[in-house]
Amino acid sequence: MSLSAYLANFEFIWPWLFAFLPLPWLLRILLRPAAQNQSTLFAPNIVARVRHSLPSEHLVEPQYPRYRVPFGFAVLWLLLIIAAARPVWFLESTPFQQSGKEMMLAVDLSGSMRRADMYLGGENVDRLEAVKTVVAQFIEQRQGDRMGLVVFGSQAFLLSPLTYDLQTVKTLLNESQIGMAGRNTAIGDAIGLTLKHLRKTGQQHAVLILLTDGSNTSGIDPLEAAKQAQKMHLKIYTIGVGQSRPNGAIMPSRTDMDEPTLSKIGEMTGGQFFRANDTAELQQIYQYINQLEAVQHDVFSYRLRSELFFWPLGAALLLSLLLAWLQLRKLGG
């Protein structure tokens, strides 16, 4: 690497601190005569008595004028200033994509999500386990987006606000448990909480993907919440998950899916309703939504920096120890 290329990657964060370099010289010029005058003024005979009481070999006269600072101290001060100015080395620019899409995920954690009518890798799993796997894959495909997570049962809870840290969103989803938000299904509350969060962050034209396996049994009316979402330009995709007729038989349930309401929510907000009877269909739905919400990514770049202040700071520490040792040796010799 050429010298010019090396210097282009090197920088001081606080270069203005180099203005303090002359400080020791200024203090030596301004303060030392005053100190001498004060000692003569307040104790004219003490200094002379002390000097006469000491052996002549312990009296060392300074060999440099009062405006000169010892070389070792000058180097020590320079190292401290360099360290304080925070020298850094910038690494190569790293490009990343950012779409600017704001996407909220709402996942049903009611008791009915415990039904094991889904298959994953040839094994029978409950609905939530299948949802976690499919949604995690979907999150991985949305790099550059900001995503948030809402879970709901009898109540709705915001587990993650909108963030670029998609790994955290995946982790929080994976740690979610059936029943942690209550055993009922508050679809309207999930929409309402999403709207509240978006209103606080000042976001508009966001997308909500709401997944449930039942009908609204708690909280506010989902259609009323959908009206508010319409006003805030929140597009809602609703997904109904779970088999309604396993092995050809109708599954009785007090929370049978309210497909008309879910469909109406999607229609009112410019989204769409999807029905997933198995894991494969659920994967296809999220893939389809991923394509519908695909946008042209803007490419940005950032430069990581490596802090170098510890090198001059360490050198200053070693030099101070060396100067102290030399001074002790001089006094002892």
Q: Kindly report the CATH number assigned to the domain that includes residue 164.
A: 3.40.50.410
Has residue 273 got a pLDDT over 60?
yes
Has residue 137 got a pLDDT over 90?
yes
User: How many CB atoms within 10 Å of residue 30?
Assistant: 9
Q: What is the 3-state secondary structure (H, E, C) of 297-330?
A: CEEEEEEEEEECCHHHHHHHHHHHHHHHHHHHHH
Q: Which residues contact 316 (CB under 8 A, 6 or more apart)?
A: 76, 79, 80, 83
Q: Which of the four pLDDT bands, split at 50, 70 and 90, describes residue 186?
A: very high
112 and 217 part of one domain: yes
Average pLDDT over residues 13-20: 93
Identify whether the C-beta of residue 234 lies closer than 8 Å to the C-beta of residue 197. no
Most confident of 2-6, 263-267, 288-292: 263-267
229 and 153 part of one domain: yes
Q: Which of the four pLDDT bands, split at 50, 70 and 90, describes residue 46?
A: very low
Has residue 145 got a pLDDT over 90?
no
The pLDDT score that the predictor gives to residue 39 is 46
215 and 245 part of one domain: yes
Domain that holds residue 319: 3-91+304-332
- Residue 14 has which token pair? 């606080």
193 and 51 part of one domain: no
Has residue 118 got a pLDDT over 50?
yes
* Top-confidence residue, 117 or 203: 117
Has residue 68 got a pLDDT over 60?
no
Q: Which of the four pLDDT bands, split at 50, 70 and 90, describes residue 253?
A: very low
The pLDDT score that the predictor gives to residue 98 is 58
146 and 289 part of one domain: yes
111 and 41 part of one domain: no
Q: Which of the four pLDDT bands, split at 50, 70 and 90, describes residue 129?
A: very high
237 and 171 part of one domain: yes
d(CA 121, CA 74): 70
Has residue 277 got a pLDDT over 70?
yes
Domain count, the chain: 2
User: How many alpha carbons fall within 13 Å on the CB side of residue 255?
Assistant: 25
Place of tokens 């999807």: 274
Average pLDDT over residues 121-125: 87
Residues 160-177: tens digit of each pLDDT: 999 989 999 999 999 999
User: How many CB atoms within 10 Å of residue 247?
Assistant: 7
Residues 102-115: tens digit of each pLDDT: 899 999 999 989 99
**323, burial (CB in 10 Å: exposed 0-12, middle 13-18, buried 19+):** middle
Has residue 252 got a pLDDT over 50?
no
Has residue 150 got a pLDDT over 90?
yes
221 and 84 part of one domain: no
184 and 106 part of one domain: yes
244 and 126 part of one domain: yes
- Backbone φ and ψ for 69, nearest 5 degrees, come out as -105, 135
d(CA 285, CA 275): 8
Has residue 254 got a pLDDT over 50?
no
d(CA 72, CA 70): 6
d(CA 313, CA 321): 13
Has residue 302 got a pLDDT over 60?
yes
Helix (H) or strand (E) holding 124: strand 123-125
Has residue 3 got a pLDDT over 70?
no
The pLDDT score that the predictor gives to residue 301 is 63
The DSSP result for 132-198, as a single string, is HHHHHHHHHTTTTSEEEEEEESSSEEEEEEEES-HHHHHHHHHH--TTTT-SS--HHHHHHHHHHHH
**282, burial (CB in 10 Å: exposed 0-12, middle 13-18, buried 19+):** buried
Helix (H) or strand (E) holding 212: strand 207-212
The pLDDT score that the predictor gives to residue 289 is 92
The pLDDT score that the predictor gives to residue 194 is 96
Average pLDDT over residues 275-287: 92
The pLDDT score that the predictor gives to residue 297 is 55
Q: Which of the four pLDDT bands, split at 50, 70 and 90, describes residue 292?
A: confident
Identify whether the C-beta of residue 134 lies closer than 8 Å to the C-beta of residue 211. no
Q: Which residues contact 265 (CB under 8 A, 6 or more apart)?
A: 191, 210, 222, 223, 226, 229, 236, 238, 271, 273
Identify whether the C-beta of residue 202 lies closer than 8 Å to the C-beta of residue 232. no
d(CA 148, CA 133): 17
Choose the weakest-confidence range: 19-23, 94-98, 228-232: 94-98
114 and 241 part of one domain: yes
166 and 68 part of one domain: no
Q: Longest Cα pair distance anywhere in the chain, in angstroms? A: 114
* Top-confidence residue, 253 or 244: 244
Mean pLDDT of all residues in the chain? 82
SS3 helix, strand, coil % of the chain, rounded to 5? 50, 20, 30
